[in-house]
Amino acid sequence: MTAAEPNIHRIVQLIRAHQLGELDNRAQIELNEWRIEDPANEMLFSQLNDLVFLNSNLIELSKYNAQASFEKFKATHIEVAQASFPKRYAFLKWKYALGAAAVLALVMLSILFFVKQDIINSTPKVTQQTDVAPGKVGATLTLADGKQIRLSEMKNGASLQQAGIKISKSASGQLTYEFAEVKGSGSMVNTLSTAKGETYKVRLPDGTLIWLNAASSLTYTANLLQHNQRVVHLDGEAYFEVAKDQRHPFVVVSNGQSVKVLGTHFNVNAYKDEPQIATTLLEGAVEVSMKGLCKRIKPGQQVVTEGKSLRVNQVNVDDVTDWKEGDFYLNHVDFKTAMRKIARWYDVEVVYDAAVPNDLEYGGWMSRKNNLSTVLKAIEGTGLAKFKIEGKKIYVYN
């Protein structure tokens, strides 16, 4: 989809749903990516967002910045538009009512035609010397003897075994590892870690699936068992699908907090550079405890650990597991929190100008498959901030 040949009906549907707050995650990404494909698309979206829908047939033009372009539109298209306009609404003046989908399509195409060049010349652009590609699948397994295995370097179909650990990679590229033998090595400590710009999915020997986000690590013994519990230590962020085992609860320990479950789906965000730990439940039940405090939550709830307090919030779980699905959720997210997400995935450092405020918020969804400049361009289009990319640094300024 381009500015020159937009899919008008689809864009109309997306913008209408956007105004009603009815876009799902995928549709929001589709709309966002159309907006950043061409500078004219962003301006077109902005102008159409000023249209207040009265019902399924009418729209009211409440304000319009590109007045000169609109006058050109009326002069060249009013006869066609009037012919398309239902007779029962003929009493409404043109500046207040333009019709329905067909007329709206004319408005969109015409505005695009008249203002595109001015928009391209005036739209701010991310200043860059180099671009940064998105992250990829990869992780390092560190064994008890200090040996490191780069799992992403294994060929499809390959496997290896060492100290009771079997690591394999399927023909489709799925990486898994399991403990073929734990006798004599059950207490060996292993660490699975991702660097910035890496993510990894692993299956533990008990059948538990874990998605590890960028700049994160899991530490555990080979047989997982400590005091009759399956225990892993998390630094960073991970999504868990825990295999059921009534006799051996699964415990995730992170920064002084512990999450205890028997079998469930949940996400833990425990990065050290974040001001709080967030544990979000998707399925089943979990018990979060810290310093004598304890909270049990239901699906759709999140426990926020901050200082000495535990707070329970109701959340949209899709917004929390965005990274697992390959997206950035940046809707009503604190600006610097969003930039920390971006920095981890693209393995970059963010440098802020002193004039950039702390309370900026960015709205929308973006795919993590985009290059860094594309993501920054979308944020820059909101007018929140400007960016300059130099090597592995992002400079943020007003």
Statement to judge: residues 14 and 102 lie in one domain = yes
Q: Domain of 37?
A: 8-123
Same domain assignment for residues 296 and 355: no
pLDDT of residue 164: 66
Would you say residue 37 lies in a domain? yes
Q: Are residues 73 and 47 in the same domain?
A: yes
Does residue 136 belong to any structural domain of this protein?
A: no
Domain closes at, from 74, 97, 123: 123
Does 177 or 370 have the greater pLDDT score?
Answer: 370
Q: For 322-363, how does the pLDDT look when each residue is reduced to its tens digit (9 = 90+)?
A: 999 999 988 778 888 899 999 999 999 999 998 888 777 766
208 falls within a domain: no
**Is pLDDT larger for residue 347 or for residue 167?**
347
Q: Give pLDDT, residue 281.
A: 97
* 205 in a structural domain: no
pLDDT at 82: 42
Q: Could you tell me if residue 102 is inside a domain?
A: yes
Q: Which of 123, 152, 185 is the last residue of a domain?
A: 123
- Count of structural domains within the chain: 3
347 shares a domain with 379: yes
Confidence check: pLDDT of 230 > 70:
yes
Q: Kindly report which listed range (124-133, 306-315, 347-356) carries the lowest average pLDDT score.
A: 124-133
Is the confidence at residue 387, as pLDDT, over 70?
yes
Enter the pTM of the model: 0.70
Give the separation between CA 294 and CA 57, rounded to whole angstroms.
Answer: 54
Contact yes or no for 373/126 (Cβ under 8 A): yes
41, 84: one domain: yes
Cα–Cα distance for residue pair 60/228, rounded to 1 Å: 66
Please state, as a whole number, how many other Cβ atoms lie within 10 Å of the Cβ of residue 58. 18
Residue 135 in contact with residue 345, Cβ under 8 Å?
yes
In a shared domain, residues 107 and 31:
yes
Distance CA(218)–CA(166), nearest Å, equals 17
Give CA–CA dist 206/42, Å, rounded: 49
Does 21 share its domain with 58? Answer: yes
Q: Which percentage of the chain shows pLDDT scores above 70?
A: 69
Cα torsion through 111, 112, 117, 122, rounded to 10: 80
Residues 366 and 293 in one domain: no
Contact 181, 231 (CB under 8 A): no
Q: Does the pLDDT value for residue 277 go beyond 90?
A: yes
Residue that terminates a domain, selected from 321, 344, 363: 321
Do 43 and 104 belong to one domain? yes
Residue 251 domain flag: yes
For 230, the token pair is 């399956």
Average pLDDT, the chain: 76
Residue 263 is assigned to a structural domain of this protein: yes
Q: How many CB atoms lie within 10 A of CB 71?
A: 11
CATH number for the domain including 363?
3.55.50.30
Specify the higher pLDDT residue, 25 or 139. Answer: 139
Whole-angstrom distance, CA of residue 234 vs CA of residue 364: 29
Q: What is d(CA 66, CA 78) in angstroms, rounded to the nearest whole number?
A: 17
Claim to verify: residue 317 and residue 362 sit in the same structural domain: no
Q: What is the rounded distance in angstroms from the CA atom of residue 104 to the CA atom of residue 324? A: 37
Any idea what the CATH number is for the domain that residue 293 is in? 2.60.120.1440
Same domain, 334 and 371: yes
Residue 382 and residue 373: Cα distance in Å, rounded? Answer: 15
pLDDT digits (tens, 9 = 90+) for 139-150: 898 888 888 888
Distance of CA 285 to the CA centre of its chain: 25
If asked whether residues 15 and 115 sit together in one domain, one would say yes
Asked whether residue 378 is domain-assigned, the answer is yes
